[in-house]
Amino acid sequence: MATRAAAISPPHAVTSRSRAPTANGSKRESFRRRAAAFTFYLSTALVIWGGWSIRDQRLLSPEFGTGYWLGIVGAATMASLFLYPLRKRWRRIRTWGKVSTWFRVHMTLGVIGPVLILYHSNFELGSFNSQIALFSTLVVATSGLFGRYLYSRVHYGLAGRHATLESLRSDFSNLGDSGSTLARLLPAVIADLEPVEQRLMTPRIGVLESFVAALQASVLTRWAALKARWHLRGAVAEACRTSPLLERERRRLKRNATRYIANRMRALRKFSQFAWFERLMSLWHVVHYPLFIVLVLSAVVHVIAVHLY
């Protein structure tokens, strides 16, 4: 009975009562960050749509007034993006603030800058040098968003700690160990996960192999999770027939099992896709920085051309 009762707690949760608020606080903080990011990007999309919808009214001019100063501020904002890579390479400022804070500011400015440039140009192409500067800005901004996605795939959140195959394998193993009690209670559900785990736990290093493994992991882990959830209701009902305590906690047991399945498959997916995303991240670094240099040069040429001619 004691063994069965222990399974009611989430398999991945800590058992110490004093540490539970920390886990709950971490979840709330993660939710707030996701909500803030969603609100920011939604607001940005609405601002861009609003500027595009009134562009024919020509309320702003890139040559004078508010439109001119939006260009100045936008250019300064884009130039400030140098601070993040500088912070990582210059020892004197490495201790200034958290890496995660610098990264968030870098990403935020990388979105705000192009929006200011769009308003500065009134969503028009203008002269040839203006077109080069505008397209360079938009390409760098798009590249930055893509880099943000890759960064999340090869790092632990925004803390800056780079993951490795061994650390991800350890995370997956620890998650499996934490669900041992659940496996004894719901063996049929866990059995749905094991075939895909055996297939994906061998890392693929080659370019084509890692790409195929990433695609397989995306499909197979989600299918395995869906299949396990299909069997979950019957498995929980079967387990509850032998224990009045589990019957009283049926809903919580099912919720915890669902969460465990999702976490286990997510950890397996990240491990299987790691080699491919790490390779893409390396390629992204090779492409992104030259694009940024082109942006800086085009912006300098644009400013000189505007003020001289």
Please write down the HEC assignment for all residues of 196-219.
HHHHHCCCCCCHHHHHHHHHHHHH
- Assess whether 115 and 172 both reside in one domain: no
Average pLDDT over residues 236-249: 70
% of residues, the chain, pLDDT over 70: 81
Evaluate whether residue 148 is within a structural domain.
yes
User: Could you say which DSSP state residue 96 is in?
Assistant: S
**Statement: residue 28 has pLDDT above 70:** no
Evaluate whether residue 185 is within a structural domain.
yes
Residue 177: the pLDDT is 61
Chain segment 143-182, per-residue pLDDT in tens: 888 888 888 888 776 555 677 777 777 777 776 666 666 6
More confident residue, 270 or 22: 270
Average pLDDT over residues 57-71: 84
Evaluate whether residue 28 is within a structural domain.
no
Evaluate whether residue 190 is within a structural domain.
yes
- Assess whether 43 and 150 both reside in one domain: yes
- Assess whether 246 and 209 both reside in one domain: yes
d(C-alpha 102, C-alpha 119), whole Å = 26
- Assess whether 181 and 263 both reside in one domain: yes
Chain segment 107-148, per-residue pLDDT in tens: 888 889 889 988 888 888 777 777 788 888 888 888 888 888
- Assess whether 213 and 142 both reside in one domain: no
d(C-alpha 146, C-alpha 143), whole Å = 5
Evaluate whether residue 15 is within a structural domain.
no
For residue 6, name the pLDDT band (cuts at 50, 70, 90): very low
For residue 16, name the pLDDT band (cuts at 50, 70, 90): very low
- Assess whether 44 and 147 both reside in one domain: yes
Q: What residue type is assigned to position 88 of the chain?
A: K
- Assess whether 154 and 303 both reside in one domain: yes
Residue 46: the pLDDT is 93
CB 190 within 8 A of CB 183: yes
> By residue range, what is the domain housing residue 185?
2-7+163-279
- Assess whether 293 and 151 both reside in one domain: yes
d(C-alpha 19, C-alpha 26), whole Å = 11
Chain segment 177-223, per-residue pLDDT in tens: 666 666 666 777 777 788 888 888 877 777 888 888 889 889 998 99
Q: How many domains does the chain have?
A: 2
Provide Rg for the chain, Cα atoms.
25
- Assess whether 76 and 124 both reside in one domain: yes
Average pLDDT over residues 57-69: 83
Chain segment 85-94, per-residue pLDDT in tens: 788 777 777 7
- Assess whether 237 and 250 both reside in one domain: yes
Chain segment 262-284, per-residue pLDDT in tens: 888 888 888 888 888 888 988 99
d(C-alpha 65, C-alpha 120), whole Å = 10
Evaluate whether residue 22 is within a structural domain.
no
Evaluate whether residue 49 is within a structural domain.
yes
Q: Name the nearest CA neighbour of 239 among 228, 226, 254, 260.
A: 254
